[in-house]
Structure 1
Amino acid sequence: MTVDAVVFDIGNVLIEWNPERHYDATIGEARRKKMFAAVDLHAINDRVDCGQPFRQTIEQAALEYPEFSTEILMWYHDWIKMAAPAIPQSVALLRALRAKGIPVFALSNFGIESFEFAETKYPFLTDFDRRYISGRMGCVKPHALIYEMLEADSGVAPAGLLFADDRADNIATAQARGWQTHLFDGPRGWAERLVAETLLTRAEAGL
């Protein structure tokens, strides 16, 4: 099938996202496990990804769980250290596609303020032709609505979209809508897929 646009997730496709790793390095694995067993920080972050205010949402959670208030506040104050580092090979693929004039979109669960902050650290986040950021859209993957919104806004038919994401549930929704998909497990496999689709040569893909 013809690919009319390539769609990148951001977290764990272009930028590593592993809050647990940062907490283990700063407060220790045992304390981190205890906190995550008591506080569903990822669910709280989902509210940010849906458009709720970043700092206010995290500060409210810190008040609700005083035993872990200092650590919960780290989710806000140390956020950019958790969303790190960039994945250089994936960034190179993004730029190689753009250089060939192939439309490239972002589709990512990301808060409004956190995305604006990330742009200051990762300039490649401005390289997309279109950016579909959940906080701005008021809904998150894997709900079908955010995929539908991308289709409607871009005007690209589902069958013409090739989407890379590291989460199987996000991929499953895209497949159900007729998108072409790639379950991302590293930049080399993604590069191979882009070559197989004849979007890039092996040299252009860094292979």
Structure 2
Amino acid sequence: MLSAKNTARFILTSVPLLLFLSLLMACYINARIVHKGIVKAVILFPMVIPVSTTTLFCRLLFDDAGMMNGTIRAFGGDPIRWMDSGYVFWVLVLLYIWKNIGFCVILWCAAMDAIPKEIYETAKLDGAGFFTRMGRIILPILSASAFIIVLLLVLNSFKVFRESYMLTGNYPHRSIYMTQNVFNNWFQSFSVEKMAAGAVIVALVLAAFVMMLQKRLMMRLDER
């Protein structure tokens, strides 16, 4: 139960945050940045960094003797046990966002590039501001792309056990004890029956989630 609750909490926290931040970045890049190719290459850089390197960097930042605690001590504060408290959940969310935000921005930018420029120009001539264009033009057109992005982000969130394991080991803090840790423990004890049953349950949950998203998307497209 704890693993399912933490997995749901992680998805419901990290995916909306990542969607919102990446969409803002994509809008800014499309509207303000001239050399978009260079910017896109830079923001994709975290994806090519190995997981072991990113987790090592996080440990350098958030370890008991890391840079964050060093800064806190320098200002006279008490150090925080980032890896052994509920703060590790937000460290994991931050790491997940940093690793995946470039990928999301590229997908948003590709979808925005497919929107005819005449639509933007007509809306500006009619006096539509940024938020009006976002709510009435961009978001409705990007609904199909949003479906793909949300689906990929949810699937990627189930791979976060690598970062969780490398950050805190086989038995992490209870706030990041997720479904993947349960499977890892079952694998070590060779509980094949439990792993098979758990895999079927996870597959059914993901299938139901995909069908729900697809139904929602079809309803939005029918309304248009």
Instruction: Give the TM-score normalised by the residue count of structure 2.
Output: 0.24
Which of 1 and 2 has greater Rg?
A: 2
> Which structure has the highest helix share of the two?
2
Instruction: Give the TM-score normalised by the residue count of structure 1.
Output: 0.26
> Which structure has the highest strand share of the two?
1
